[in-house]
């Protein structure tokens, strides 16, 4: 299934994972924008808002949980689904408590990733 027109934002500080996610999601027809730093999320403007955000929990500079709280507290971004990811075994409860709509454990299965993204898009 092609998802042309759906905009995804991927925030991940590992360049290999970021490139992998971008390639897989673009291959499915998504428009993918990538950020390597959490601070970049502050650049989101009305009209350029993504349909979904994939957000790593442990980012250099800012914790992804702080970022998801900030996104969910803002009127213009609170409706955007956020899927958080981490390789840390106990990260899921803290991600959900921060406001994440879903959680994806690393390393993840491509089919699991795509099914989760499709669920929100």
Q: Where are the domains of the chain?
A: 7-120
Residue with tokens 């390789």: 87
Q: Report pLDDT digits (tens) over 73-104.
A: 999 899 999 999 999 878 999 999 999 999 99
CA distance 35 to 10: 6
Classify 85 as helix, strand or coil: strand
Of residues 15, 7, 18, 13, the one with CA closest to residue 44: 7
Query: Is CATH 3.40.50.2300 the classification given to domain 7-120?
Result: yes
pLDDT at 40 over 80: no
Which pLDDT band holds residue 47 (cuts at 50, 70, 90)?
low
Note if the bond before 107 is cis, omega within 30 degrees.
yes
The confidence score (pLDDT) of residue 46 equals 62
pTM summary value: 0.93
Q: Report pLDDT digits (tens) over 23-38.
A: 999 999 999 999 988 7
pLDDT at 64 over 90: yes
């Amino acid at each position: 299934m092609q998802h042309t027109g759906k905009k995804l934002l991927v925030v991940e500080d590992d360049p290999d994972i970021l490139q992998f996610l971008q390639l897989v999601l673009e291959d499915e027809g998504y428009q993918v924008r990538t950020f390597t730093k959490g601070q970049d999320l502050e650049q989101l403007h009305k009209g350029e808002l993504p349909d979904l955000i994939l957000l790593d929990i442990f980012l250099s500079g800012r914790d992804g949980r702080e970022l998801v709280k900030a996104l969910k507290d803002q009127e213009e971004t609170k409706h955007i689904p956020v899927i958080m990811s981490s390789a840390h075994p106990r990260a899921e409860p803290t991600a959900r408590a921060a406001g994440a709509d879903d959680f994806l454990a690393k390393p993840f299965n491509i089919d699991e990733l795509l099914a989760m993204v499709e669920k929100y898009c």
